[in-house]
Structure 1
Amino acid sequence: MRIVVVEDEEKIRKGIVRLIHKLSEQYRVVGECENGLEGIASIKRLNPDLVITDIRMPLMGGMDMLETLKGEGIAPRTIILSGYSEFEFARKALQLGVVVEYLLKPITADDFKQVLLHMEADLANRRADDMKAAGADEDGGQWFRRYCLQPDMEPDQAPERVKQRLAMNGPSARYLASVYTGQAGGEQAEEARRTLQTALELDDRVNDFLLAGIPELCELNLALTMKSAAPCMSSLWEHLLAKLRALPLNDAILTWEQLAPGDDLRERLRELRGLRKWSLLAGGEAALNQHKAAGVAGRGPLPYPAEWEPKIKEAVLSRDRTGMKRETELFAEHCMREAADPQQVLDACIRFLSAMQYMAGVILGDASTAKEWGDLYHRLSLAQTPRELREALLDAADRTAEGFASVPVSHSLVINKAVKRIQERYQTGITLEELAGSFGITPEYLSSLFQKELGVSFTACVKNMRIRKAKELLAGNRLKAFEVAQRVGYSDAKYFSRVFKEATGLTPGEFQRLHR
């Protein structure tokens, strides 16, 4: 596997290179770069199998590098490295559609090894598939599969028989469909393919079809023609979907559209994949096309249901696993019922997850939860079905509850009340003496409780709350740094900027620009 490493800190870069060579002789670092500008040149010249890049670098960071490469049609497999636990740093990368893994510094050898093994397996699978696709099989399915995946393949490379079948008796009778089978195993996916093939062969309305499976995308793609133009195709797609739902699949989403003359098959498939997330609003019960999606979109915008945040924060603070799961499921159901666009659901759920993480961080500490939250945000942002959305959120509740097992619960009532009081007064200021006096205990005793139960001092707890709120204000508003400083309890803007940079590695201005 040929690898390019893009990292501005020489010591870290050299350490990564040494670790790569130590893990396997099959891994070869073909390029080392100090910033994104060098990275672009090396990646275009070397065409590596994998890119490992930092986020923050001089001249050009990792995100800008990947975005520039994407604009030129280059989307390499990528591992993003960052010293920050906030999901927003990774979210922009996820939107680029190129990031396969996201690792937090300091990187452990075990984590790095697992990621590289995953990349190696993925690369091997892709190469094996390409070799199989080199010769079209009798029904053209392998060519169809390869054509859908490879942007440099031209239609005139198709075998004659495939060309004839793709002509399909006139534009009014040509259709394209894509089926998402969830995280089904190989045997289940093959059963789904056989089921669709049998159903299509027995359907008198179908003239001809091409069916190809793409395991790495958990999908089956279908091109077909009808014996005559069918004014209502919904019955065929609902029939096929019902057949799939009778199988032991976690999910089955079918999206379809009629093809017009000159349509680009790859582009239409991309559109069908994008339609899948509308199942979040349709409940996953219907075959979807643009017309059905437009009907759901008429609901209007989704105001963020902020009334759930105090409920989830209270459940987390009380270490109430049942309450966390209940509020999480109700929140997800509300968003899927009320939203006009699936992205509204995902954005609201990501914000809700942030509220859960906020309180988990207060109790467990940021460092102990950062690794666990990264993959939850990743799963949530990629959710295509109601089940995948609920599972990601409910897993967050479960992981939070499991994390409490390592935190002492003695005196939790006092600490819970203390944390609530700090939340209410961190903007105006509160002292350890005042807080201890309100509980009728000594400051020394309360200080020891903070260290024992939360693992941080009283001062650190107040600072963490102020920094978290400052991040929210900087990311969601166009406020100046001095305005944010005043709102979170700092009268001196310069001191606030210094504290903020110590906590995040960024100045308030840099943080705000990154999150626009």
Structure 2
Amino acid sequence: MRIVVVEDEATLRRGIIQFIEQMNERYQVVGEADNGADGERIILELQPDLIITDIKMPDMSGLEMLEKLKAQHFEYRSIILSGYSEFEYAKRAISAGVQEYLLKPFTENELRRVLAELSLSIELQRSLDPAHKEGAASFDYYFNSLLLGAPVNLEVLAERLLKEYNLNIRQPFYLAAIYLHENCNEAEQSWEKLLYSQLDKTMKGPVCTFALPADHLHLLLLTDQQSIDQFYRVIKQMLMAEEKPPNMASGFIKCEDMTSFRMQLTELKNDLQWSIVLGDQIVIDHERIQTLVTQIVRYPVELERQIILEIHAIDLNTMYSTCQEFLHYWRSKLYHPEDVIHAFVQFCSAIVNAAHKASLKWEQTLNLRRVYLKLMDSLTWSELSGTLLELYAEMQDSVRDYKLEYSPVIKRVIHYIDLHLHERITQLEVADKLRITPEYLSLLFAKEVGNNFNAYVREKKMNRAKELLIESELSGYEISSLLGFTDPKYFYKVFKNVTGLSTSDFIKIHRR
């Protein structure tokens, strides 16, 4: 599929082009432009299959460009990019014939899905050429037409499947699916090669297969129970490989005939979510999972409350432990996968919403919509749990080296701490000096500094203690007094908790 990208934001344009080129070797970006006028000229010259364009651009808008192309009878498929403020504009573009729109900021998964659907549509249109009709059409064309609800001559399809695969779709058959997903396209392709290699070795006779790249699914049409047994062996061999796929799910469903194909595939895709609770070792049998008895979900609200408190305290270490406890909770009993996914959505939503209130940096970097989409698309435990842990890692990274031009209030707080480091400093005392409430100081300090008040003071005092231990001949007892500690034992305890060393061991390592 040949693509032209028209977008006036250079960074976004380069990002889209880079992602498209890495996504699929069949996608080729043949041209780009930063305004509608240049875009029109390049499109007419290069004749692409697909146009990706922003709406609002200098010189000529994306919508004006598409309307001019349409007036010149240029046939195109297009994706328009729109900000939320331009939503009504986007709807008008769709009514004018645009196939898809994406609201900024859009995710990689959203762009991947839209490109796959349009690519499929383009391939189907090409296959309607007289040379590809009826007997000469590919099986991919037939199956994709069925999925899109397009008319298909089932008699011709039945004759070809019987002749080429000894598969009679006029009577019940099995539809099997294997889900393989990797963030790296090259890695996913290597797992696909392993899959088809195992199919060739294990399945007796040719097997009708086709892929749904947008869903990372590989589908097989199987004749009887014997071929299902062979399918089980393929999955077992995949999982016994020296390196097994990190995100894999498999299952099958019985189809009465090809007229039910579309509905049965939808059911099978939903069935694959059972891999979240049953594990990737289990091949999901549609009939068997109907008999499974699952536990009634009691959402662990106490863990949600706990992690919200930890977020407001910017206590990353305890947050990680709470995330692990939440993950363990869903592995202890058999729950329905939909209930588990919804619980993860609720938990992650609570985390992001609390984080937005606790830290300005988190408010700027954490995207709830992106997290939600990843959770809802999960078909394996690795994907579901990985989304939560990735969220934690993103929070950790975003505050690690965070520096901000602080508000006047926080500048005064930090200045006060620096001047009074030799004294015992309390949040109540500082709030009183600034004539603000302790609660407001706590909220503002955490949001701007990315740390809670007491932890920040402790970190400042310990950094000064390390400097004095290295640069002076003062004892730990003397330094504790200089830094406002009334109890030397408490100072030694705090120092060891922060550094992992006693003051004497620290001196031995660092003082020359």
- Specify if TM > 0.5: yes
Query: What is the aligned partner in structure 2 of residue 252 from structure 1?
Result: 248
Matches of residues 40-439 of structure 1 in structure 2 within 5 Å?
Answer: 48-52=77-81, 76-81=99-104, 100-101=110-111, 127=122, 142-143=140-141, 146-147=144-145, 149-154=147-152, 155-156=154-155, 158=157, 160-162=159-161, 164=163, 168-169=167-168, 174-183=173-182, 184-201=187-204, 209-226=207-224, 230=225, 235-247=229-241, 248-261=244-257, 263-296=259-292, 298-335=293-330, 337-338=332-333, 340-365=335-360, 368-370=363-365, 372-407=367-402, 436=428
Amino acid at match of 1:455: E
Q: Cα distance, 1:100 vs. partner?
A: 1.9
Specify every segment of 5 or more residues in structure 1 that has no aligned partner in the other structure, as ranges.
Answer: 6-16, 35-45, 69-73, 83-89, 102-114, 202-206, 410-414, 416-434, 457-516
- Alpha-carbon distance change, 124 to 33 in structure 1, aligned in 2, over 3 angstroms: closer
Question: Is the Cα–Cα contact under 8 Å of residues 116 and 214 in structure 2 kept in the other structure?
Answer: no
Amino acid at match of 1:249: P
Structure-1 separation of matches of 2:332 and 2:164:
41
- Alpha-carbon distance change, 213 to 173 in structure 1, aligned in 2, over 3 angstroms: same
SS in 1 for 2:311: helix
Tell me the TM-score normalized by structure 1. 0.57
Structure-1 separation of matches of 2:298 and 2:89:
36
Amino acid at match of 2:149: P
Question: Is the Cα–Cα contact under 8 Å of residues 277 and 385 in structure 1 kept in the other structure?
Answer: yes
Q: Cα distance, 1:241 vs. partner?
A: 1.4
Question: Is the Cα–Cα contact under 8 Å of residues 4 and 30 in structure 1 kept in the other structure?
Answer: yes
Q: Cα distance, 1:363 vs. partner?
A: 2.9
- Alpha-carbon distance change, 22 to 245 in structure 1, aligned in 2, over 3 angstroms: farther
Q: Cα distance, 1:221 vs. partner?
A: 0.7
1:409-453 Cα distance to aligned partner (Å, 9 max, x none): 9xxxxx9xxxxxxxxxxxxxxxxxxx8469765435967776555
- Alpha-carbon distance change, 33 to 316 in structure 1, aligned in 2, over 3 angstroms: same
SS in 2 for 1:375: helix
SS in 2 for 1:249: coil
Query: What is the aligned partner in structure 2 of residue 513 from structure 1?
Result: none
Structure-2 separation of matches of 1:445 and 1:454:
16
Percent identical among aligned pairs is 13
Question: Is the Cα–Cα contact under 8 Å of residues 4 and 51 in structure 1 kept in the other structure?
Answer: no
- Alpha-carbon distance change, 80 to 450 in structure 1, aligned in 2, over 3 angstroms: same
Q: 2:447 aligns with which of 451, 454, 459?
A: 454
SS in 2 for 1:388: helix
1:449-493 Cα distance to aligned partner (Å, 9 max, x none): 76555239xxxxxxxxxxxxxxxxxxxxxxxxxxxxxxxxxxxxx
- Alpha-carbon distance change, 52 to 335 in structure 1, aligned in 2, over 3 angstroms: same
- Alpha-carbon distance change, 288 to 136 in structure 1, aligned in 2, over 3 angstroms: farther
SS in 2 for 1:100: helix
Question: Is the Cα–Cα contact under 8 Å of residues 301 and 340 in structure 1 kept in the other structure?
Answer: yes
Q: Cα distance, 1:60 vs. partner?
A: 11
Over aligned residue pairs, what C-alpha RMSD do you find? 5.2
1:13-63 Cα distance to aligned partner (Å, 9 max, x none): xxxx975667894447699899xxxxxxxxxxx98432445667899996x
Q: Cα distance, 1:292 vs. partner?
A: 2.9
SS in 2 for 1:179: strand
- Alpha-carbon distance change, 28 to 382 in structure 1, aligned in 2, over 3 angstroms: closer
Q: Cα distance, 1:398 vs. partner?
A: 0.4
Structure-1 separation of matches of 2:6 and 2:77:
6
- Alpha-carbon distance change, 289 to 318 in structure 1, aligned in 2, over 3 angstroms: same
- Alpha-carbon distance change, 119 to 169 in structure 1, aligned in 2, over 3 angstroms: closer
Question: Is the Cα–Cα contact under 8 Å of residues 436 and 443 in structure 1 kept in the other structure?
Answer: no
Question: Is the Cα–Cα contact under 8 Å of residues 132 and 142 in structure 1 kept in the other structure?
Answer: no
Structure-2 separation of matches of 1:449 and 1:178:
53
1:144-177 Cα distance to aligned partner (Å, 9 max, x none): 6544554315035648423545773587762111
SS in 2 for 1:383: coil
Choose 163-172 or 323-332, whichever is displaced more.
Answer: 163-172
Q: Cα distance, 1:208 vs. partner?
A: 5.7
Structure-1 separation of matches of 2:87 and 2:118:
31
Question: Is the Cα–Cα contact under 8 Å of residues 144 and 210 in structure 1 kept in the other structure?
Answer: no
SS in 2 for 1:168: coil
Structure-1 separation of matches of 2:361 and 2:148:
42
Amino acid at match of 1:162: L
Q: Cα distance, 1:265 vs. partner?
A: 2.1
Structure-1 separation of matches of 2:98 and 2:368:
25
Choose 329-338 or 128-137, whichever is displaced more.
Answer: 128-137
Structure-1 separation of matches of 2:333 and 2:85:
38
Q: Cα distance, 1:189 vs. partner?
A: 0.9
Q: 1:443 aligns with which of 406, 418, 435?
A: 435
SS in 2 for 1:270: helix
Choose 23-32 or 280-289, whichever is displaced more.
Answer: 23-32
SS in 1 for 2:322: helix
Specify every segment of 5 or more residues in structure 2 that has no aligned partner in the other structure, as ranges.
Answer: 8-32, 44-50, 56-60, 64-74, 405-409, 411-426, 450-512
